[in-house]
Every structure is written in structure tokens, then in C-alpha cells.
Amino acid sequence: MRFRHPSGGLIHLAYCTNVHPAETLDGVLAQLSEHCAPVRRRLGRERLGIGLWLAADVVKALSRDPKARATLTEALRREGLEVVTLNGFPYRGFGSAKVKHRVYQPDWTTDARREHTLQLACLLAGLLPDDVTEGTISTLPLAWRTPYDAAAEAAAVQQLNRLSRELDLLASGNRRQIRVALEPEPGCVIETTDQAARLLTGSEAPPTDRIGLCLDTCHLATAFEDPDEAIDRLVRQEVPIYKAQLSAALHAEHPERPEVRRALAEFVEERFLHQTRERAHDGTVTARDDLDLALDGEKPLSASGPWRVHHHIPLHAKPPAPLSTTLPVLRQSLARLVGGRRPLTRHLEVETYTWQVLPPELRPTDADQLADGIAAELSLARDLLTDLGLKEEA
């Protein structure tokens, strides 16, 4: 979906296909026709933006086979889909029964991560619509925080600097500008916008015309960051926000109450990591790496203040009372990102990958219900954008 900002700039809105994880090209092609196209039709649009997630084996197959790339390009055209952004965070196995910490491997200390991201960049340059010259790839915020030391940091920065030079060469050959966006996430080496700014403005930092930030509003909210303060800091330090992921976290205002803890326990599951944060009355934020640890681990959170849980909740959905979501943080972030005189980012992506692990009352039972839900999320995002003065284009 495309929107025109009052300043004249074009804003792209997509939804991320990691909610339909596929590990083969045939699986990706089926995903386009069985999931993405039905969402487009529900929205009544001839064209729908998608943020493709491509597993490492698919990337390798596409990279070595021009016929496979042509097949993917034709499938996108046939289904009325366009791609300006890729989700390069998960490497493979995102549909596994247990993902948890494996999603952070390989990390940015390795050649494998850089090579994978460069292959994604080459593919994206070929997938961009004819009238679009800039693409983005979101990626993990270096690594999970342990084990990680100064040597690992130096290796990661070296990999990013090398990638930026490779992206320069790619752009000189095809005039397509591909930019990579680090996505702060709780529990990682970079979990806040302040940490991201320090990395990207350091003396050895990669050039920010290639490497910038992906702002995920669920992650921002889970860390109890104030959107205005965070975004103002990034603007002040000239850290570009190349992409924003529109997502909502789970919020519990009174986690000390038994009924709230019972409601939270319904969101404990074995597939994904659900980092949990508690903010005390003095503003101190305490962390646990998963929701079950926060509730019943050896050192559970004290419940002395509200909790937020890294569990992506559909944007339009209301979890069972007395829980709520951080949709207000998304609204505040979006107003700051694209509601001003000039947009601070041009690529927006709805990313709710947790549909199949939600409690039963929120979980779709078939592909039709899933398509209904994703279309509802995109409709809400569209309304937020038009309320900010953007005009949807055909």
C-alpha cells in the first residue's frame, strides 16, 4: 500500500510474511497465492506491499538461479504484490516448533550473516518496482547479549563496514540504493535506541547512508522507552530510521493481582522468546528473558510496577481483560515518524508473526481467519496514516 505524505514523499506500508514461514521457494510461491493475495483482495486493492522474509536456503537458491528469480518476480506481479523491504532478521527455521534464542544466529560477528544480508540486498535490488530506487532490509541488533565482549563488538562493526562497501558497489552497478536497518530488541546487544545511537555514531561506526535503524514499536514499548524522547534523540544524533515495524506488545498494569497473572500465563508458549520488562515507580526497569521466568522462574519479577511483554499482539485485537496492548505507543511513534512536516522514514511494515501462538480466543483457526486478521491490522494502520494527513494512492 502506498501513501503520499503532505510534503510529497511516498510512504510504503507492507505486512511481513514471516507470519507464513516457508523454507523453500515452492513454499514462498504458495505463500504469495494462498495468504498474501487473499489479504490484498480483502482490502480491495490492486496492489499490496509485503515485507518478504526469505529463509537462507531460499536466498541461496534464488541467488544462483536466474530462472528462480524470474519465477518469483512473475508470481509477485501476478498476485498484485510489491516488495520494497525484506525482513532479514531470522536466518532459517522461523517455523520451527522451538525458535527462542536460535533466531539470533548467525549473528553479526560472522561472515555468514554478512553474506546472507548481501545476498538479500542483491535480490531486493532486482525485486524493487520500476519506479522505486530504494529498498531496506531489517536485521538483528548485532547479537544476543551473551556471550558478547569487546572482541565480538569489533568483529560485528567490521562486518557492517565491509557490508556498507559492498552495498556501495551494488548501487554503482544498478543504481538501486539498498539500506540495512538494525532492529533494537530487548535482551540483545542493542536493545534501546540510545544503544543504537551510540553504536552508529561511534568512531568506527559504519556509514549511516548504508546502515541505520529499524524502529519496532513493540520492542520500543517493551523497553519502556518514550517514543518522542527516543525519536528526538535519533534525529538529534542524525541516526537515520530507514524502516519502522508497526507492532504492539502485551501490557499488564497490575501484575501483582492474581487474575492478571492468570491472564499473563495464557501467553506463555514454547516457540518464541517473550522478553518481559517491569518498570518500578522510580522508573527503574527490571528484565527477564521470557514470560515464564518473569512469572514463576527462580527470580521472578517483583510485580512492583507495570509489565510489558515482547509478545506481538494483532494491532486491532484486544487481549482478555485485564490485559491491554501498547497500541498507544505505536500511535505516538507513528505520529512522530510520519506526522510531521517531513517523514522520518518511508518504509512501514506491520509485523505480527505470533498469530499461531496466541491464546485460543485470539488465534485464527484457518487461513481465511488469518487473512481476515491481517487485513484488519492493515486497515487500522491505513486509518492511522490517513488521520495524520497522508493520502492513500491506488
3-state secondary structure 78-125: HCCEEEEEEECCCCCCCCCCCCHHHHHCCCCCCHHHHHHHHHHHHHHH
Strand (E) or helix (H) holding 137: strand 134-139
What is the structure's pLDDT at 394? 77
Beta carbons of 7 and 391 less than 8 angstroms apart: no
What is the structure's pLDDT at 175? 83
Check the CA dihedral 86-91-95-98 and report its sign.
negative
Q: What Rg value do the Cα atoms of the chain yield, rounded?
A: 20
What is the structure's pLDDT at 105? 98
311/303 Cα distance (integer angstroms): 18
Range 2-250+321-393 has CATH code 3.40.605.10: no
User: DSSP strand E in 255-329: where?
Assistant: 276-279, 285-288, 307-313, 324-325
Extract the residue ranges of the chain whose pLDDT is less than 50: none
Beta carbons of 185 and 143 less than 8 angstroms apart: no
For the range 101-106, what are the long-range contacts, defined as Cβ-Cβ under 8 Å and sequence gap of 24 or more?
101/144, 101/273, 103/140, 103/272, 103/273, 104/140, 104/143, 104/144, 104/188
Check the CA dihedral 90-92-97-102 and report its sign.
negative
Q: According to DSSP H, which parts of the chain are helical?
A: 25-31, 37-43, 56-64, 66-78, 111-127, 150-174, 193-200, 217-222, 227-236, 258-265, 291-296, 327-338, 367-387
267/250 Cα distance (integer angstroms): 9
305/303 Cα distance (integer angstroms): 5
What is the structure's pLDDT at 216? 98
- Phi-psi domain of 80 (left: phi exceeds 0; alpha: psi -120 through 50; beta: other): left
- Lookup: cell for 90: 531470522
What is the structure's pLDDT at 2? 98
Residue corresponding to grid cell 501476478: 78
State pLDDT tens for residues 115-133: 999 999 999 999 999 999 9
Residues near 117 by beta carbon (within 8 Å), at least 6 away in sequence: 88, 137, 139, 163, 180
Across 219-252, b (16+ Cβ under 10 Å) vs e yields bbbbbbbebeebbebbeeeebbbbbbbbbbbbbb
What is the structure's pLDDT at 173? 84
Mode of pairing for the β-strands spanning 10-16 and 2-4: antiparallel
- Lookup: cell for 320: 482478555
Residue 227: what are its φ and ψ, rounded to 5°?
-60, -45
Beta carbons of 213 and 196 less than 8 angstroms apart: yes
**Length in residues, the chain:** 394
- Lookup: cell for 131: 519506479
